[in-house]
Amino acid sequence: MKSIVIVISGRGSNMRAIVEAELPVRVAAVISNDPAAAGLQYARDKGIFTQTVNHREFASRDAFDQALAAAIDAHASDLVVLAGFMRILTDGFVQRYDGRMLNIHPSLLPSFTGLHTHRRALELGVKIHGCTVHFVTPRLDHGPIVIQAAVPVLAGDTEESLAARVLREEHRIYPQAVRWFAEGRLALHNGIVRVTGEDAAQSAFPDR
Ligand code: GRF
């Protein structure tokens, strides 16, 4: 069975969705850059090994990334799952986990890379919004796309209501992406992800 390390910064609801999906993976550890991350307590309660690598204790981004990599590598896991991890990673760190590190981003990439995606979607009046699971590459929020889910933007939506609608989909597609990885069904060809097998065409639209 493959093993994963989940890296969080806060609430950890995506981590929780992955743990609760009972995937064919062993969650070797949950690591946070913030000792106050609420998700750590959930992981502890589940008996999962937790660790904090506090970014505030490091003089440089490089030093932090090296400590984080050491913490991750101690588990010799197959996949690193960034789940609401809010630090920008150095190129060296990203390259170390080439093809074995996933991230979830709350927009339909390549639209709305970066922060405040829901606010910006509302400001621009887009009618469809969503979320993306992608492999992490050095260019922020630009890695090969594994799965996306779309939601409508409704009249009267606020940043909060739109975020909640997107988050429900995050909790659906992130476990799916991790499952595909665990089952060895993700292949990368020239920066494009191909999913093999029956449910490979799993739609971006929840009801299909
Ligand atoms: C999610 O919306 C994720 O897409 C974004 O930050 C949020 C983290 O939520 N990067 P959680 O910590 O998984 O609850």
Annotated active-site residue in 55, 105, 118, 129: 105
Per-residue pLDDT at 208 exceeds 50: no
Decide which of 51, 81, 97 is a domain's last residue: 97
CATH code where residue 34 lies? 3.40.50.170
Decide which of 97, 129, 164 is a domain's last residue: 97
Find out whether 202 and 191 touch, Cβ atoms under 8 Å.
Answer: no
From the alpha carbon of 85, which atom of ligand 1 is closest?
10
From the alpha carbon of 166, which atom of ligand 1 is closest?
2
Considering the domain architecture, whether residues 113 and 206 belong to the same structural domain is answered as yes
State percent of the chain over pLDDT 90: 94
State the Cα angle at 72 between 135 and 104, rounded to 5°: 30
Considering the domain architecture, whether residues 83 and 118 belong to the same structural domain is answered as no
* Ligand 1 centre distance from Cα of residue 203 (Å): 21
Considering the domain architecture, whether residues 180 and 196 belong to the same structural domain is answered as yes
- Using the structure block, give the residue that is written with the tokens 């505030």: 56
What pLDDT band is residue 168 in, cutting at 50, 70 and 90? very high
Tell me the pLDDT tens digit for each residue of 6-56: 999 999 999 999 999 999 999 999 999 999 999 999 999 999 999 999 999
Please give the C-alpha separations between residue 39 and each of 138, 150, 153, in angstroms, as whole numbers: 26, 26, 28
Considering the domain architecture, whether residues 117 and 184 belong to the same structural domain is answered as yes
Number of domains in the chain: 2
Considering the domain architecture, whether residues 160 and 199 belong to the same structural domain is answered as yes
Tell me the pLDDT tens digit for each residue of 100-155: 999 999 999 999 999 999 999 999 999 999 999 999 999 999 999 999 999 999 99
Considering the domain architecture, whether residues 32 and 112 belong to the same structural domain is answered as no
What pLDDT band is residue 206 in, cutting at 50, 70 and 90? low
Q: Which of 6, 15, 104, 112 to mutate to test the pocket of ligand 1 (most atoms within 8 A of CB)?
A: 104
Find out whether 152 and 104 touch, Cβ atoms under 8 Å.
Answer: no
Domain hosting 80: range is 1-97
Considering the domain architecture, whether residues 203 and 116 belong to the same structural domain is answered as yes
Compute the half-sphere exposure of residue 156: CA atoms within 13 Å on the CB side of its CA.
0
118 is catalytic: no
**Longest Cα separation, the chain:** 49
Decide which of 75, 97, 119 is a domain's last residue: 97
* Ligand 1 centre distance from Cα of residue 163 (Å): 10
Q: Which of 162, 170, 171, 174 to mutate to test the pocket of ligand 1 (most atoms within 8 A of CB)?
A: 170
Query: Higher confidence at residue 205 or residue 117?
Result: 117
